[in-house]
Amino acid sequence: MAKETPPKVEKGFLQAESYLKDQTKTIELVGDWEYYPGLLISPTEMESLEKTREPHFFKVPGIWTDSFWDRGFLAGDGYATFSLKIQHGQKGIPLSLKIPEMETAYNLFVDGVKVSSNGSVTTSYQTGKPEYRPRIIDFFPKEDQTSIVLQISNYHHRKGGPAQIVIFGKTSEIHHQYESAILRDMLLVGSILFMGIYHLFLYWNRKKDPFTFWFALTCLLIALRVFITGNKYLIQLFPDLPWEIHLKLSYLSFFLITPIFSKYIYLLFKPYFSRRVYEFVKYLGFAFCFIVLVTRSSFYTYLMIPFQAFTLAGAIYTFLVIIRAIRDSLPGSILFFISFTIFIASFINDILVNNLIIYGPLTIHFGIFTMFFVQSVYIARNFSKGFVEAENFAVALSDKNQVLQKVQNQLTDLNERLETRVKDKTEELQGKLDQIGKDMRLAKSIIQSVTKIPDLEPYLKVDILYKPIAEVGGDIFFIKRIQDFYYRFFLGDATGHGLQAALYSMMIQSEFERVSAVAMRPNDLLFYMNQHFYDKNADLQIYFPAMVMDFDFHQKILRYAGGGVQNQIHIKKDGSTSLFENTGPIIGILEHYRYGVFESKVESGDRIFLFTDGIFEELNESDGVQAWGALLEVIQSTTNLPFAEVVPSIKTMLFERMNKSQWKDDSTLIFIEIT
């Protein structure tokens, strides 16, 4: 008898009455749900809306995420309402819905009653709250048809929408499937966990074989990941665990597996596995982990697909290594090849399922178990073989001079270990230095690309004096063309230098781009940035002074707001000088602070100088007021100079007054002339 095909949702309706007559069947609610993007509709409003508005349809599971190239790190932001009617014919019979996590908050209504929610579903980033808490919802239908309304919002993840499958069926069967999943996961976690503990003890008693330690560490990471993902057992044990920490643990438990497991494979196939390739995999893998630690979820969730591609590239190289080992008849290489193939096949299947390319069950847990069980057998067999060989060797040498041979072997072993250790440390240090240099050059290139000056003709001319004390400095500036007649200048002073400053600058630039589109005035932009860094980066303690200046050439005015900065200078066409004073504290220090704004008329010939404190503080290190006054004198002395000579003249005069040829701190001066 042919197996009955489960029905699918078509245009917001699921006809499942005949399918659910079998008491043991459940159904996945996949297909085309009614879809209302940009609206949060209650069940009472749904009927009237369906009569007045033609619904869209959305394929579930799916995500509404736009292209990264169109919206950047806001590609998954948004909110919507989904609707579905199920004809099940089970009036008065207990039914259940198994709800996985949604990206990243939802409200669920069944027959007009709110039965479940995760996080806070809102229309703005400031009030939205993400949460992952899979659950089962039991209910008694009063009719043979049930309506479902699902409200979803997302502002914290690259994916937004119903990315997981909702399962519907009899209450007893849904709970039975859930209990079976718990039993399966616990057996898997227990098995892999005990494999890891067992091999830790092997390493403890025989440190000469370090690959057992890295294999044990990989087992522990796999067990932790199974516990964190899937049915989210970690959340059930610690219900108050913040969503951001839970997501970071989920990503770290995955990102750490590749560099750690590659160490095991490298030690196992050392004659065939290039050390340079291993070093590259290790440091790049740890770099992914570092980015997860220091950035927010709306940034690092975009790393998943690049990291999966990176892992698959490493797997391809591993296959080539194993094939070479098989060619040379290395013991155990064929067994490793089979188990690794099963593991990679399950890994590729899960990548395709998670990215909604194919639909099917997740198989990585079974692939992991098969892989690591086979590896445990392989290691145990090698240890047993080693013990037998050692016993035979001891008998063969019993008639010889054991003391002399033992001393000779110890000296030889010690010398080999010392040479290997020195060589490894030297290569490790050189690799770190090369990686640091590469990272610094990449960071410098990124900062240069985001600080590129747009076309300002015919309203403005700009010249910039930018002197970082390292390849990448803490000063960061952006010049953005909002409209043909409206321009925005941003100047900030991030903490530190080098990679730290580069990471902070990228975070500042990301937030500037995010809020610049909605901040109509400079003080609004500072308010949004201040609130973001106060809420999201309090643990990182990122505080920085910043200023924003907008030019509106329709009204021929400029607007200025400054947070924790010194007075800026405005030399008017007639030669008179006015100052732009600070309008609030530094960014990230006070919650909900409303910055002031300063407006001024501008006309052709006006000159404006925006700068950080590094440009003048060395003129008098003991008295900042006198140092700023000295800078003002230098700038005023350039009033009659042509535009192209102003910045070079200021630089020369500052060096003469400081009696030195370089600054101790990052220094930036932006010279603007109204044309």
Q: Which of 477, 478, 473, 476 is nearest to 440 (CA)?
A: 473
Look at the block and give the residue holding tokens 């009033």: 639
Q: Is the pLDDT of residue 297 over 90?
A: no
Please write the tens of the pLDDT for every residue from 528-583. Answer: 999 888 887 666 677 889 999 999 999 999 999 999 999 999 999 988 999 999 99
Q: Are 230 and 185 in contact (CB under 8 A)?
A: yes
Instruction: Compute the average pLDDT of residues 393-416.
Output: 73
Q: Are 669 and 493 in contact (CB under 8 A)?
A: no
pLDDT at 345: 77
Q: Which of 73, 1, 61 is nearest to 31 (CA)?
A: 61
- 505 exposed, middle or buried (CB, 10 Å; 0-12, 13-18, 19+)? buried
pLDDT at 343: 75
Look at the block and give the residue holding tokens 């005949």: 18
- 357 exposed, middle or buried (CB, 10 Å; 0-12, 13-18, 19+)? exposed
Q: Which of 114, 82, 118 is nearest to 99 (CA)?
A: 118
Looking at 2.60.120.260, 3.30.450.40, 2.60.40.10, 2.60.15.10, the CATH number of the domain 13-171 comes to 2.60.120.260
pLDDT at 565: 92
Q: ω before 458 within 30° of 0 (cis)?
A: yes
DSSP state of 519: -
Q: Is the pLDDT of residue 631 over 80?
A: yes
R_g (Cα) of the chain, nearest Å:
32
For residue 94, what pLDDT band results from cuts at 50, 70 and 90?
very high
CATH classification (class only), 451-674? alpha beta
**Higher pLDDT among residues 151 and 235, named by residue:** 151
Q: Which of 560, 284, 221 is nearest to 435 (CA)?
A: 284
Instruction: Give CA–CA dist 311/612, Å, rounded.
Output: 43
Q: Which of 126, 91, 99 is nearest to 29 (CA)?
A: 99
- 448 exposed, middle or buried (CB, 10 Å; 0-12, 13-18, 19+)? exposed
For residue 1, what pLDDT band results from cuts at 50, 70 and 90?
very low
Instruction: Give CA–CA dist 236/661, Å, rounded.
Output: 61
Say which amino acid occupies 56: H
Q: Which of 635, 636, 661, 663 is nearest to 650 (CA)?
A: 635
Domain ranges of the chain: 13-171, 176-401, 451-674
Q: Among 34-48, 67-81, 508-522, which is the least confidently predicted range? A: 67-81
Distances in whole angstroms, Cα of residue 109 to Cα of each of 42, 150, 422: 8, 6, 65
For residue 437, what pLDDT band results from cuts at 50, 70 and 90?
low
Q: Are 389 and 331 in contact (CB under 8 A)?
A: no
* Dihedral class, residue 295 (left if φ above 0, else alpha if ψ from -120 to 50, else beta): beta
58-95 core/surface letters (b: 16 or more CB in 10 A; e: else): bebbbbbbeeeeeeebbbbbbbbbbbbebbbbbeeeeb
* Dihedral class, residue 332 (left if φ above 0, else alpha if ψ from -120 to 50, else beta): left
Instruction: Give CA–CA dist 625/632, Å, rounded.
Output: 11
Structure tokens at 190: 């227990």
Mean pLDDT over the full length of the chain: 84
Please determine, looking at this structure, whether the domain spanning 176-401 carries the CATH number 1.20.1070: yes
Instruction: Give CA–CA dist 157/154, Å, rounded.
Output: 7
Length of the chain: 675
For residue 34, what pLDDT band results from cuts at 50, 70 and 90?
very high
Q: Which of 147, 56, 158 is nearest to 104 (CA)?
A: 158
Please write the tens of the pLDDT for every residue from 159-210. Answer: 889 988 899 999 999 999 888 888 888 887 787 788 888 878 878 877 877 8
3-class SS at 569? strand
Instruction: Compute the average pLDDT of residues 426-453.
Output: 68
Q: Is the pLDDT of residue 446 over 70?
A: no
Instruction: Compute the average pLDDT of residues 659-664.
Output: 71
Instruction: Compute the average pLDDT of residues 638-648.
Output: 91
Residue 442 neighbours by CB distance under 10 Å: 13
Look at the block and give the residue holding tokens 């039991």: 138
DSSP state of 96: E
Percent of the chain past pLDDT 90, that is, above it, reads 30
Residue 658 neighbours by CB distance under 10 Å: 18
Instruction: Compute the average pLDDT of residues 130-136.
Output: 90
pLDDT at 10: 92
pLDDT at 8: 92
Helix and strand element counts for the chain (H, E)? 17, 21
Listed in order, strand segments (DSSP E) in 140-292 are: 145-154, 167-170
Q: Is the pLDDT of residue 594 over 90?
A: yes
Q: Which of 623, 638, 632, 522 is nearest to 567 (CA)?
A: 632
Look at the block and give the residue holding tokens 């960071």: 443
- End-to-end alpha carbon distance in the chain: 84
Q: Which of 547, 544, 520, 549 is nearest to 532 (CA)?
A: 544
For residue 130, what pLDDT band results from cuts at 50, 70 and 90?
very high
Residue 483's DSSP bridge partners are: 486
